[in-house]
């Protein structure tokens, strides 16, 4: 008997298009159901529609910051596991 599992949903928010696409591809290859966004507004739109189980968020983005997004994602669903990335020291 085989048991099929639903892929873990993951929201990936980064304003660097190339990095976002590469990370999305890597997560999809590992079985995640990935939604991508380039900024806070697009990320929140996806989060409200999909309620992802996990999120990977860039700390520094144009417009509202990744830290603001982390707060909003947590307020929307405190069970969402969130990883924050940054290219800054």
> For residue 7, what pLDDT is reported?
75
Stretches in the chain below the pLDDT threshold 70 = 1-5, 89
> For residue 3, what pLDDT is reported?
52
Q: What is the pTM of this model?
A: 0.89
Instruction: Kindly give, in sequence order, each residue whose CB lies less than 8 Å from that of residue 44, ignoring residues fewer than 6 positions away.
Output: 69, 72, 73, 76
> For residue 4, what pLDDT is reported?
57
> For residue 26, what pLDDT is reported?
98
Nearest CA to 35 among 75, 78, 80, 87?
80
35 three-state secondary structure: strand
> For residue 11, what pLDDT is reported?
98
């Amino acid at each position: 008997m085989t048991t099929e599992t639903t892929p873990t949903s993951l929201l990936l928010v980064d304003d660097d298009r190339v990095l976002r696409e590469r990370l999305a591809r890597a997560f999809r290859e590992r079985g995640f159901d990935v939604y991508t966004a380039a900024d806070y507004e697009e990320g929140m739109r996806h989060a409200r529609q999909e309620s992802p189980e996990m999120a990977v968020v860039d700390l520094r983005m144009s417009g509202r910051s990744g830290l603001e997004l982390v707060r909003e994602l947590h307020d929307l669903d405190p069970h969402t596991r969130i990883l924050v990335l940054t290219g800054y020291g």
